[in-house]
Amino acid sequence: MTKKRLTILQLYPRDMNIYGDHGNMLVLKRRAQWHGFDVRVVEYNPGDTFPETVDIVLGGGGQDSGQDKIQQDLLSIGPRLRKLADDGVPMLVICGLYQLFGTFFKTQDGHVIKGIGLFDIETVAGPERLIGNIVTKSDDFGDIVGYENHSGQTFLRAGVAPLGTVIRGAGNNGQDEFEGARHANVIGSYLHGSLLPKNPAIADWLIERAAVNRYGTFTPATPDDRFAKLAREHAIKRPR
């Protein structure tokens, strides 16, 4: 019997891929295989052809200069990404791409990098970088563990749901208690680390959403998560 296939689109791995973000792709791929899928990973860099078939979109963080580099291309594929989001395609975007899935990021030196406005959020660089280990709490995924390093302070406009509320760390801006954002099946977050190895519940949710979209059903396997549990416990105990 041929296996069902899922296609993961990795956005801008050349320019937007720091603090272990590549690990999100590795975990998603392996867990999807454990759940019985054949997995195809498509790397998309500026100027590439946008694939016809996309089941999950992943994107990472980057320096301000990396965000400058990909900005024009991102704006050009923005309508396709928004259409995929409207169709329920799950996505996970971290830090630099989380910011540019919002309306704009105004950097420390005052220039504005426009985003695709998929999230109704805005980001302005603050006086100090927000750096360190972070733990947040979410209704859907329990405690979420990661590492943050950003100058941007992100504010959710009215009606935008956060991914979690901060237990320890700064989160979106260090002022309100929010971390990340959600819209349809799209998750934005500041958490690097990588995020998914220590938070397999989020990985499985992305896979489940993708499988239901394409095939109508999802029958989960029961992966051995002992190492993920140990990694989580260890990370939660680390000092900020």
* Positions marked active-site: 95, 192
Out of 149, 165, 205, 225, the only residue in the binding site for ligand GLN (CB under 6 A) is: 149
Which segments within the chain are labelled E, that is strand?
5-11, 38-44, 56-59, 91-94, 104-106, 112-114, 121-138, 142-156, 164-168, 178-179, 181-183, 186-189
Binding mask 150-169 for ligand GLN (x = CB under 6 A): xxx-----------------
The pattern of x and - marking residues 93 through 112 that bind ligand GLN according to CB under 6 A reads --xx----------------
CB of 37 to ligand GLN, least distance (A): 29
Name the DSSP class of 76: H
Can you tell me whether residue 179 is helix, strand or coil? strand
Question: Which range of residues in 43-51, 55-63, 173-181, 220-228 is near ligand GLN by CB under 6 A?
Answer: 55-63
Task: Name the residue number minimizing CB distance to ligand GLN.
Answer: 61
Nearer of residues 55 and 148 to ligand GLN, judged by Cβ: 148
Rounded to whole angstroms, the Cα distance separating 175 from 44 reads 35
Regarding 63 and contact with ligand GLN (CB under 6 A), the answer is yes
SS3 of residue 215 by DSSP: helix
Half-sphere exposure of 15 (CA within 13 A, CB side): 18
Residue 25: φ, ψ to 5°: -65, -45
Piece of the chain touching ligand GLN by CB under 6 A; list 43-51, 57-65, 161-169, 218-226: 57-65
Q: Restricting to residues 16-35, name those near ligand GLN by CB under 6 A.
A: 18
Count, residues near ligand GLN per rule CB under 6 A: 12
Token representation of residue 230: 């140990």
- Binding interface with ligand GLN (CB under 6 A): 18, 61-64, 67, 95-96, 149-152
